[in-house]
A and B are shown apart, each in its own frame.
Chain A
Amino acid sequence: MNVLHFVNAFFSDGAHWKGYDGIPARLAEHIQYSLLALVLAAVIGLPIGLLTGHYGRGGNTLALIATAGRALPSFGLLVLMFILLGFGLVPVMIPLVVLAVPPILVTTYEAMRSVDPPVVDAARGMGMGESRILLQVELPVALPLILSGLRSAAIQIVSTATIAAYVSLGGLGRYIIDGLYQRDYEKVVGGATLVAVMALATLAVFWAVARTAVSPGVRRGG
């Protein structure tokens, strides 16, 4: 008996493909939670990161937020929110967003700061307004780095959303947690495989987005 055997058994069992605990349903839940958290975190993190990066202010505060964000244990925060707020989407979204904002915020800030100053100087000297400089010059040049920050956040969300099954949330983590309780190792390994595939798919999506959205002029070497 090895892991591959369990994987094979899990996926060939027809029962795992339908119903509320079927793979399509769990996958949809996982994507839904992850997307919602990512969008919320991006809505908070991107504008602040873009503006602070553009004006070059608040770098120290952001460094502090980044350190705090890294030090906070995601799993602990998740369980704490569950105990304090009870079952539901909100107590799960709070830690997911709290954990995803710092990488987006800090990377966006750093990305904007890394734009070659003469490029911005030239843009200003040619008579571009500040919003035009931000959106048409700095943002496209900083895009590869900004996307990598979003990717980090997304990976972290997918990962933490898995653990959220412990606090009774749906998603692919259900198989792992339930399997562990039921001593059903086939289910555990099947769930783990799905989660890994989901993480890799997230990487692939970001790779594809970077491929299409980033100008070839700034993509080189990446």
Chain B
Amino acid sequence: MRKFLILARVQLRALLVSFRIGGSRRKAVSGWAALALMAALCLYISGMYSFSLGGQLAGAGCLEVLLLLMPAMAVIMGLVFTAFAAQGVVFGGRDGDLLLSMPVSAFAVMLAKLTALYVENLAFCAFLMLPAGAAWLWFGGAGGVLFIIRLLTGAIFLAMLPTVLSLAAGFLLSWLGGRFANRKAVSLLLYALLMAGVFFLVFQINMAAGTLAAGTMGMNIQGAFTGWGIPFLLFQKGVCGDWETLVMFCLLNAAPVLLTVWLFAKNYQQVLTGLRSHGKRPSYRLGRLRAAGRRKALLRKEAARYFGTPIYLFNTGIGLILLVAAGIAAAVMGGSLREQLALAGLGEFPLLTLAAAAMSFTLSTAAVTGSSVSLEGQNLWILKEAPVSTREVLDGKAAFQLLLTVPCLLVCTLGLVWGLKMSLAEGAVLLLFALAFAGFMALMGLAVNLLFPKLDAVNDMVVVKQSAAAMLSTFGGMIGALACGGAVWALTGVVGEMPALAGCAAVLLLACLLLRRWLHTRGAERFMDLS
């Protein structure tokens, strides 16, 4: 037990260090502040969703479905975020050799590593279940102190489910990725399948909620959760007042965790050895080599890292895929898009503003530069010793993000202009705004990353998903998108929608100029000070 606690403390400390909590007092304060800000934003977004869904379900007379859907969402979110962590930390961490050479049981090592995963999943459960509980009470669900106790107990044990699922997924990703010569392509494919599966589940849940709210009762929600969804049914029943069911739920979640850890721990050494082995390398024959310029070389390097790091690609690329999909969908729907928006209750909204807000909010998830400097990690010396100026390096990183985002923006804008029957002038203003926001995101992400670098992460997952810079640049973008939407909304009545949006674009372009100047001066100095 003592050894497990020592190891667990180290793993949790590593988790906190990824948020820059640790070291100097100043770093600790800024790290906690960043964590608190992210927690507040997560709770806010989750709260908005819970209350919106709760309102719909209460209106349809089935509020208890809220306590069925939100735990399912919590498990899905946890699985998405920690499957990659399991692959990197449990089966690919750099401390494996050190820990296995110690007089510590493999069971204690695995359980300690799993503790960090569990804490992350617990955070996701808290972010989703606390607002869900508040929404339940708000819309008239049976409450009281006992409900809160049952909800918290349920959430604590609910977090074990995505933990064990992500452990299995992480092992599968590691094992399958190591079986093939082209590991990059296989890893990308596996990640794509995982994300597709998650999107399918989320879509199904949203469809089900929508069907119920529309009163068509096309799907029996409760019935849909039998079989695979039994844990969520037990959670719902337990939290709503059945203590025996709650206890059964807790045992049903705790047992698989202990069993899975025991199974993996029994063969942990063999598992790790097997995952690290690789097949015979194909023999390379030197052929013709082609020369390129410095800028092209830097862009190629960024592209190689981006497309060669699945967690980086999918974490920041989903928004870009959504932009393209939205543009194509809008173009295909053609004239019926306005009718569909009216049916959804959005017909009265200024559509240009709505389109701009949606595009910018989606773009904020594509914070490629938010991790770009941190991902250099221990390789930073290569760029610093090369005969390239820091300006070229930083411009290259921003340029790469724009190379990714601008084509997607073009497709989305063209599709929306066609689908919403916008005028050419409206389309031009929308594109101008989107491009200005894209530039702002690229430069802002870089600036944030230079202010909050994380060069000593144990793996890329920590940088992309947990680093302060990655989260702040994403949430900063979201706040920027909301602020732009709010500003345009407020000014529409004064100057008109198009001038308001054009004005917002002008402000963003000014911000881009100021950010670029900062990057070329103070930012460059910060880059050179990194080590």
A and B from one complex: no
Q: Residues of A at under 8 Å CB distance from B?
A: none
